[in-house]
């Protein structure tokens, strides 16, 4: 996000302080910018754009509730500002407060038509496309934003992220290096480069980008990246250790929203990893206790739309239907206009409930609503749909769903579902070679991982059957 514009304020001193914050933000130094924005608000409590500066930075550091609070305050002050500022305030309100994607895009399109040489509308449009999984459009918008103004970190990071989502890894590195040459640096560049190196098996480069976080205000990001890497490799115990440390450090760093997100995401991993066959048994009492503790920890830290949706999904997948439905009701009540909550995450949660209840056909039907946006959902709808087709013994459709994951690695680089999709494909095809590919992914996995134990049994059975046929 980027909030630079002409600014309406009654205080020259507030404008000077704000401009210093803007200078930091422009370089990608979001944490360093916030004290300036806060000071500008102290000098002029009606300075709408200082609130927008904070909203953008809170969003860029995964603190959605604080972003929403600041955007809502700017919206209250919109009658005091210029027409150009009103457009920006409206966009921030729709993205951070109501979550209405269509209105975000409509506002930005009007902004582009009215001020065609202003890169900010196009830069933010690229992010709106990312939210709904339209990564091709995200690339085009981000490139145009860089062309209009090459000095903003937002345009460069959006371009790098969009290219990563489309598996264009060489271009990701080129974009990041160009930014670094311009003295533009930010967390997001190092996340993209770490993930690109992970895909390519470049351990030295991974370590280089982890080292960048040492001493940074958000050093917990490095621990979370290591959590994801361990998760992908099936190294459950290492991932648990990294996850606990990431959550603890984020909470101690006054980033409770981030800690809540990390805890909720780990709850989902626990569910998927507690079963050898895709979904755990609803009667698994030990898992119920673990998931209850993990989700409560996440919600105690913050009840944002992200935390609520992920914890609800974890509970639904674990067979805790009543608790999942209670959180789904809260999501509907607290975010009644949010496009992604109502058209993506709630259908996924309902589908998980149906699948856990043995109603695979109904689960697939629930996911129809999510299709429009599912590329933004980190493989959850595709994987759940794939499991449903496996339950129905419709192998061709199951293969198609798992292939959607395997062919789009960049959409969720460190997802636990990627290797599990490889296993799902092996089961759908009953193919020794696909099992071998899964074993290669998990060659360093904990040997008692349920999915690995079950996969080895299945592999031996297929191999024996094939040898008898031969």
| Domain extent for 190 | 127-204
CA–CA separation, 267 and 225 (whole Å): 16
Tokens linked to 47: 């300075």
Q: Which of 204, 223, 246 is the endpoint of a domain?
A: 204
Per-residue pLDDT tens over the stretch 330-363: 999 999 999 999 999 999 999 999 999 999 999 9
How confident is the model at residue 405, as a pLDDT?
98
* pLDDT tens, position by position, 423-450: 999 999 999 999 999 999 999 999 999 9
16 plus 53 within the same structural domain: yes
Is residue 147 within 8 A of residue 139, CB to CB? The reply is no
pLDDT of residue 470: 63
Predicted confidence at residue 28, as pLDDT, reads: 81
Any domain includes 273: no
Place 25 in a pLDDT band, splitting at 50, 70 and 90: confident
Q: Does 68 reside within a domain?
A: yes
Grouping H, G, I as helix, E, B as strand and the rest as coil, residue 161 is helix
Domain boundary among 145, 180, 204: 204
What are the pLDDT digits (tens) for 62-92? 888 999 999 999 999 999 899 999 999 999 9
Does 334 map to a domain?
A: no
Q: Which of 161, 184, 204 is the last residue of a domain?
A: 204
Same domain for 151 and 89: no
pLDDT of residue 26: 79
Is residue 6 predicted with pLDDT exceeding 90? no
- Cα angle: 84, vertex 87, 88; to 5 degrees: 95
Same domain, 134 and 53: no
Do 153 and 93 share a structural domain? no
CATH number, domain with residue 6: 1.25.40.10
Tell whether the model's pLDDT for residue 2 goes beyond 80.
no
Kindly tell me if the per-residue pLDDT of 289 is higher than 60: yes
Q: Are residues 8 and 82 in the same domain?
A: yes
Question: Is the Cβ–Cβ distance between 90 and 106 less than 8 Å?
Answer: no
Query: Stretch 200-219: mean pLDDT, rounded?
Result: 97
Q: Which residues have C-beta within 8 Å of that of residue 382, sequence separation ≥ 6?
A: 374, 401, 402, 404, 405, 421
Residue 293 forms part of a structural domain = no
Number of domains in the chain: 2
> How does pLDDT run across 86-130, given as a tens digit for each residue?
999 999 999 999 999 999 999 999 999 999 999 999 999 999 999
Q: Is residue 36 part of a domain?
A: yes
Number of other residues whose CB lies within 10 A of the CB of residue 202: 14
Evaluate whether residue 172 is within a structural domain.
Answer: yes
| Burial degree of 204 (CB within 10 A; 0-12, 13-18, 19+) | exposed
Is 61 a domain residue? yes
Sequence-ordered alpha helix ranges (H) in 116-219? 119-131, 135-148, 153-165, 169-181, 187-200, 203-212
Over 70: is that where the pLDDT of 4 sits? Answer: no
Query: Is 181 among the domain residues?
Result: yes
């Amino acid at each position: 996000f980027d909030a630079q514009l002409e600014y309406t304020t009654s205080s020259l001193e507030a404008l000077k302080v704000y401009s210093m914050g803007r200078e930091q933000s422009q370089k990608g130094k979001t944490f360093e910018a916030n004290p300036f924005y806060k000071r500008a608000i102290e000098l002029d409590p009606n300075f709408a754009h200082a609130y927008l500066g904070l909203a953008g930075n809170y969003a860029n550091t995964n603190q959605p509730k604080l972003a929403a609070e600041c955007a809502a305050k700017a919206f209250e002050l919109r009658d005091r500002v210029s027409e150009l500022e009103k457009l920006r305030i409206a966009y921030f309100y729709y993205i951070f407060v109501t979550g209405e994607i269509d209105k975000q895009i409509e506002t930005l399109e009007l902004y582009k038509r009215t001020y065609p040489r202003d890169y900010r509308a196009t830069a933010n449009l690229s992010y709106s496309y990312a939210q709904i999984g339209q990564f091709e459009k995200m690339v085009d918008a981000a490139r145009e934003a860089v062309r209009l103004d090459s000095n903003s970190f937002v345009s460069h990071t959006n371009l790098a992220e969009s290219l990563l989502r489309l598996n264009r890894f060489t271009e990701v590195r080129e974009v990041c290096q160009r930014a670094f040459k311009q003295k533009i640096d930010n967390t997001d560049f190092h996340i993209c480069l770490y993930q690109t190196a992970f895909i390519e098996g470049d351990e030295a480069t991974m370590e280089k980008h982890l080292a960048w976080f040492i001493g940074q205000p958000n050093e917990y990001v490095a621990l979370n990246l290591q959590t994801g890497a361990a998760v992908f490799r099936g190294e459950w115990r290492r991932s648990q250790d990294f996850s606990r440390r990431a959550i603890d450090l984020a909470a101690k760093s006054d980033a409770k929203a981030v800690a809540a997100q990390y805890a909720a995401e780990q709850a989902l991993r626990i569910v998927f990893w507690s079963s050898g066959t895709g979904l755990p048994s609803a009667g698994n009492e030990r898992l119920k206790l673990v998931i209850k503790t993990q989700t409560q920890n996440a919600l105690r830290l913050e009840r944002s739309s992200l935390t609520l949706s992920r914890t609800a999904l974890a509970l639904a997948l674990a067979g805790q239907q009543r608790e999942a439905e209670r959180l789904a009701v809260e999501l509907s009540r607290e975010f009644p206009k949010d496009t992604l909550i109502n058209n993506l995450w709630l259908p996924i949660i309902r589908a998980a409930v149906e699948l856990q209840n043995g109603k695979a056909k109904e689960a697939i039907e629930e996911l129809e609503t999510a299709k429009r946006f599912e590329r933004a959902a980190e493989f959850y709808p595709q994987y759940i749909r794939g499991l449903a087709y496996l339950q129905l013994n419709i192998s061709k459709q199951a293969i198609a769903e798992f292939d959607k994951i395997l062919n789009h690695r960049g959409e969720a680089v460190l997802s636990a579902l990627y290797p599990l999709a490889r296993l799902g494909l092996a089961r759908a095809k009953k193919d020794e070679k696909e099992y071998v590919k899964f074993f290669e992914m998990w060659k360093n996995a904990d040997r008692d991982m349920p999915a690995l134990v079950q996969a080895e049994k299945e592999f031996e059975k297929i191999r024996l059957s094939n040898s008898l046929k031969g």
